[in-house]
Amino acid sequence: MAELLKQVDTVVWGPGMLAFMLGTGLYLLIRMRFLPVRNLGYALRCVIGRDKRAVGTGCKRGLTAKREGEISPLSSLTTELAATIGTGNIVGVATAMLLGGPGALFWMIVAAFVGLSTKFAESMLAVKYRTRDESGSFVGGPMYTMLRGFPIRRLGKLLGGLYALFAVFASFGMGNMTQSNSIAVSFRETFKISEAKTGLILTILVILIVLGGIRSISRITLYMVPCMALFYILGAGAVIVLHLDRLPGCLTEILRMACSGEAVAGGVGGAVVASMQDAMRWGVSRGVFSNEAGLGAGGITAAAADTTSPVRQGYISMTGVFFDTIVICTLTGLALSCSGAIGMRDEKGCLLTGTALTIAAFSTVFGRLGGSFVSMGIALFAFATIIAWEYQGECAFVFLVRKKRYCILYRFVYGLITFVGAVCTLEVVWDFSDIMNALMALPNLFCVIVLSHVVCREINDYEKRIKIR
């Protein structure tokens, strides 16, 4: 099974998928006249509440909206960030730079800038085509966009069902098992706690939190996400600053490896051998794993926001790509390069990878505390991702079964999957997650392309009305 998953993963994340992901984002970016990139500053001002032109856009302040089942735009963003800022920012970056060379970080950043347009489009469409469920709460996401906005209704219904099915499996894989596995491994390496014990504790905590639904989840992520992000940024920044003399060489090596046919990394990359295709493959796939641009899952949470402006919420949602990849993943990658950890080997002579590689990088500055620092960072990031992805998977599950009362079943199964992920083999978990990511991306990107004229019309009308500078 492990070998089969590996082969399928290699096929689905081949050159065709990479071209489709980047090509769709670039196509949207050009059609929207680069407005998502040009208005990134405006989007960031919306996040921190400094945009005075938001009057009349339907934005409410506060933790939760007055209407039943809705959350504030800021809570929506922090829940989206909780789902994206996870092990991909730590373990994912380390894996990408080991398998794809230091140049993988360059392609992560490129994919993120292109992904701004994709994230904007899928979130904007999710809000525009959202509907109310049987309890009166707003629900949406790519499956509802396909169902309600696709020009060919039967095809839209089919694609929506497939997307929802893949999203449920992705919530078990990317949203849950990879995260619990990373927490369990890091706690075993650092604190000598068995995977089974860690998995049991995580399972209990997850079930207790997700039983409260989106309101309970958003309350936790609203405070947890900023604190954990600041905690990690300060640590990674310290590693870079204390190895600042190596930074110019690291940047040169990253650019060289990103564009080389087949190259051996220099001093900052150990003895890693990678081609440009390797760098692109691992940089783009791990970047997507991290920020989820192109997967459409963020739109599920965006649809729950208390706003009447799909475009404004699209701008707010796309800042998640900026914070997740352009800020946090870049800091992780530079910390790995500057510390010289890439290419290090353990006492058995095996290359350090994943959590162990990141711990080695932070240990160059924090010593033995480096392991504890990384482990706590992984635990915070990953746990936030687990609880945030539960809501996204639950919405997809309800779309399939059509009855909200069955969501309690999904919540308990989701909690039990946390334990399975903690005791599984890391490689199997990651390969399964990569495959589910690709299967989610295919119908979502196709839908976004088909409805791109709607996206362009909405963003241009908003630009004229608000007069963004």
pLDDT tens digits, residue range 376-435? 887 888 898 898 899 899 999 999 998 888 888 999 999 999 999 888 876 777 788 788
Share of the chain above pLDDT 70, in %: 90
Domains of the chain: 2-51+73-466 (1.20.1740)
What is the average pLDDT across 20-30?
A: 92
The model's pTM is 0.84
Asked whether residue 314 carries a pLDDT value surpassing 80, the answer given is yes
How sure is the predictor about 165, in pLDDT bands with cuts at 50, 70 and 90?
A: very high
> Average pLDDT for residues 209-219, to the nearest whole number?
78
Confidence at residue 65, expressed as pLDDT on a 0 to 100 scale: 37
| pLDDT, position 68 | 36
What pLDDT sits at residue 161? 96
- pLDDT the model gives residue 377: 81
Place of tokens 């706003």: 307
What is the phi/psi pair of residue 402, to 5°? Answer: 70, 0
Are the C-beta atoms of 102 and 259 separated by less than 8 Å?
A: no
Work out the mean pLDDT of the chain and round it to a whole number: 84
The region of weakest confidence among 41-45, 64-68, 135-139 is: 64-68
Which pLDDT score is estimated for 385? Answer: 87
The highest-confidence range among 61-70, 226-235, 448-457, by mean pLDDT, is: 448-457
How far apart, in Å, are the Cα atoms of 225 and each of 324, 341, 357?
A: 11, 27, 24
Q: What is the pLDDT of residue 261?
A: 62
pLDDT confidence of residue 401: 92
Residues 6+ apart with CB under 8 A from 141: 126, 167, 296, 297, 299, 300, 303, 392, 395, 396, 399
**pLDDT for the residue numbered 51:** 58
pLDDT of res. 54: 47
Q: What is the end-to-end Cα distance of the chain in Å, rounded?
A: 54
Lowest mean pLDDT among 22-31, 153-162, 192-201, 346-355: 346-355
pLDDT at 55: 40
pLDDT digits (tens, 9 = 90+) for 77-119: 777 777 677 667 777 788 888 888 888 899 999 889 999 999 9
Q: Which pair of structure tokens corresponds to residue 444?
A: 């979502």
